[in-house]
Amino acid sequence: MKSLLLTSYYLVYRSFIAYLGIALVVSGILFFFGGPSTHSIIAMLVILLTTTPATEVLKHEAKSGYDKFVLTLPINRIHVVQNHYLFYIIIATISSLLAPLLLYAYGLISGISINDVTKFISFGIFIILFAGALAYPLIYVFGPEKSDSLIIGSGMIGMFVSLGLQGVASNLAISLSNSEAEADLYFRIIYILLGVIIFILSFFISVFIYRKKEF
């Protein structure tokens, strides 16, 4: 598994650095010209952009023929899918840590207080987990050549779903809590847990599809 992860890393590390640079440049522009209303956009933008290269692994594997070579190794197909999902989680975790660090750093430098950072991050985590959960099964079905459009489309759908779930998540958080502070905390936790559950379900769907796939 470690060797599979290292291979995935070396396939896309240049893309990750490039997307990271784009995210920092765009965030800087929004920080300079935008107001507090752009902070949520910046948080989600950083998470979405820096996680995008994770799905490019499948495209590079297909172009190089590695996707067929890996099947000759003494591993099961479930390990191949597990590697893709684990690599995605690692990149998403790095992105989710980078976003609040960027916001806090801007707050320290500018002296501007940035509120609800964890709320922005929980939305971003849900969206990126939902995007990956939707994109991977579709990529296994339609092919890695469409990975870019599939992950972008999945991310857009994830944004709409996250907005649509706000009322349900808010009501559930209120019913579980005894105070407004607890409700806010539960609201963030519910979003992240929903994203994790959807991502895990997607893994089993992808394993089923990949096992039936013929090369």
| Overall pTM surpassing 0.75 (yes/no) | yes
What's the rounded Cα separation, in Å, for the pair 171 and 147? 36
Q: Could you tell me the two tokens for 202?
A: 């997607």
The burial of 38, by beta-carbon neighbours within 10 Å (0-12 exposed, 13-18 middle, 19 or more buried), is given as middle
Q: Is the sign of the CA dihedral 159, 162, 164, 170 positive or negative?
A: negative
Per-10-residue mean pLDDT, the chain, length 215: 72 83 84 72 80 83 78 81 90 85 78 69 85 90 78 82 80 79 80 91 93 74
What is the CB neighbour count within 10 angstroms for residue 189? 15
Residue 214's φ and ψ, nearest 5 degrees, are -110, 140
**What is the reported pLDDT for 115?**
65
What's the rounded Cα separation, in Å, for the pair 61 and 56? 9
What's the rounded Cα separation, in Å, for the pair 137 and 157? 15
